[in-house]
Structure 1
Amino acid sequence: MNAPATGTRLPWHAVPEQIRQAVETHLGAPVVKAVTQTSGFSPGAAARLRLADGRRVFAKAVGPEPNPLTADIYRAEARIAEALPADVPAPRLLASFDSEGWVALLFEDVDGRLPADPWRTDELRRVLDALTQLATALAPAPAAAPPAEQRLGEQFQGWRNLVEARETGADDLAGLDVWATRHLDALADLEARWPHAIAGDSLVHGDIRADNLLLTADKVMVVDWPWAFVGAGWFDLLQMLPSVRMQGGPPPEEVFTAHPVGWDADPAAVTAVLAALTGFFVRQSRQPDPPGLPTLRAFQAAQGKTALEWLRTRTAWT
Structure 2
Amino acid sequence: MNVTAPSATGVRVDWGQLPEHVRRAMEARLGAPVVDAVTQRGGFSPGAAARVRLADGRRAFVKAVSAEANPGSPLLHRAEARAAATLPPTVPAPRLLAVHEDATWVALAFEDVDGRQPQVPWRAHELARVLDAMGELARTPGPADLPSVVESEGESFRGWEELLDHDCGHCRDRLDPWVRRNLASLADLAAPWGESASGDALAHGDPRADNMLLTPDGRVLFVDWPAAVRAAPWYDLVLILPSVRAQGGPDPEEVFTAHPVGRDADPDGVTATLAALTGYFVRQSLRAAPPGLPTLRPFQAALGVTALAWLRTRLGSRLP
TM-score for the superposition, normalised by structure 2: 0.95
1:106 corresponding residue in structure 2: 109
Whichever residue aligns with residue 211 of structure 1, its letter is D
Q: Is the 8 A contact 2:11 2:46 kept in 1?
A: yes
Q: Is the 8 A contact 1:80 1:143 kept in 2?
A: no
2:213 corresponding residue in structure 1: 214
- Tell me, yes or no, if structure 1 residue 182 matches structure 2 residue 181: yes
Whichever residue aligns with residue 206 of structure 1, its letter is G
Structure 1 gap segments, 5+ residues each: none
* Separation in 1, partners of 2:100, 2:88: 21
Whichever residue aligns with residue 160 of structure 1, its letter is E
Whichever residue aligns with residue 31 of structure 2, its letter is G
Q: Is the 8 A contact 2:9 2:293 kept in 1?
A: no
Whichever residue aligns with residue 267 of structure 1, its letter is P
Of residues 75, 79, 87, the one that matches 1:76 is 79
2:305 corresponding residue in structure 1: 305
Q: 1:17-36: CA deviations, max 9, x gaps?
A: 01101111111111111111
Range moving further from structure 2, 230-239 or 2-11: 2-11
2:245 corresponding residue in structure 1: 245
1:275 corresponding residue in structure 2: 275
Whichever residue aligns with residue 283 of structure 1, its letter is R
Structure 2 gap segments, 5+ residues each: none
1:171 corresponding residue in structure 2: 170
Q: Is the 8 A contact 2:121 2:248 kept in 1?
A: yes
* Separation in 2, partners of 1:29, 1:15: 17
2:53 corresponding residue in structure 1: 50
1:162 corresponding residue in structure 2: 163
Runs of 4+ aligned residues of structure 1 deviating over 6 Å after TM superposition are none
Matches within 5 A, 1:86-165: 86-136=89-139, 138-139=140-141, 141-164=142-165
* Separation in 2, partners of 1:227, 1:299: 18
Q: Is the 8 A contact 2:117 2:214 kept in 1?
A: yes
Q: How many residues align?
A: 314
Whichever residue aligns with residue 293 of structure 1, its letter is L
1:314 corresponding residue in structure 2: 314
Deviation at 1:302, TM superposition (A): 0.5
**What CA RMSD, in Å, does the superposition of the two structures yield over aligned residues?**
1.2
Whichever residue aligns with residue 147 of structure 1, its letter is S
Deviation at 1:169, TM superposition (A): 5.6
Range moving further from structure 2, 298-307 or 145-154: 145-154
Whichever residue aligns with residue 282 of structure 2, its letter is V
Range moving further from structure 2, 103-112 or 177-186: 177-186
Partner of 1:171, secondary structure, is: helix
TM-score for the superposition, normalised by structure 1: 0.96
Partner of 2:170, secondary structure, is: coil
Whichever residue aligns with residue 153 of structure 1, its letter is G
* Separation in 2, partners of 1:172, 1:123: 38
Q: Is the 8 A contact 1:162 1:171 kept in 2?
A: no
Deviation at 1:66, TM superposition (A): 2.0
* Separation in 2, partners of 1:292, 1:4: 14
Partner of 1:40, secondary structure, is: coil
